[in-house]
Amino acid sequence: MKADFRVVLDSCVLIPMPLADTLLRMAEHPRLYLPKWSRHIMEEVTRNLVEKWAMPSDKARRREEELRKHFPEAWVEGYESLADLMTNHPKDRHVWRLRFARPPS
């Protein structure tokens, strides 16, 4: 089975390791969904791991590198121009815009 349901994973689910591990395993072969996130989401994950969870910055960056390596199709771009169309809270717009984004070429 290989499902292509796109699911945006925000920092709140990518930071706690038990939850992130469960969700990412479900996105591996045979994948139940196709995870999506942006550079902005990943910057928030890395920043919060360092600042709030006291993870060494090199370890937080390594985690991001591993996600990039194992889930290259998850990274999206091209959504930034949609910010003015969103009516939700400005700090959450990066998540909702991903729904309309396209994968990098």
Residue-level pLDDT at 90: 74
Per the omega criterion (within 30 degrees of 0), is the bond before 35 cis?
Answer: no
Reply yes or no on whether the pLDDT at 104 is more than 60: no
Burial class (CB in 10 A: 0-12, 13-18, 19+), 82: middle
Distance between first and last Cα of the chain = 26
Which letter, b or e, does each residue of 17-49 get, where b requires 16 or more Cβ atoms within 10 Å of its Cβ? Answer: eeebeebbeebeeebeebbbbbebbbebbbebb
> 13: Cβ–Cβ under 8 A, 6 or more apart, which residues?
19, 20, 23
pLDDT bracket for residue 99 (50, 70, 90): low
Residue-level pLDDT at 40: 87
Average pLDDT for 51-58: 95
- Comparing CA positions, the residue from 79, 77, 80, 4 lying closest to residue 35 is 4
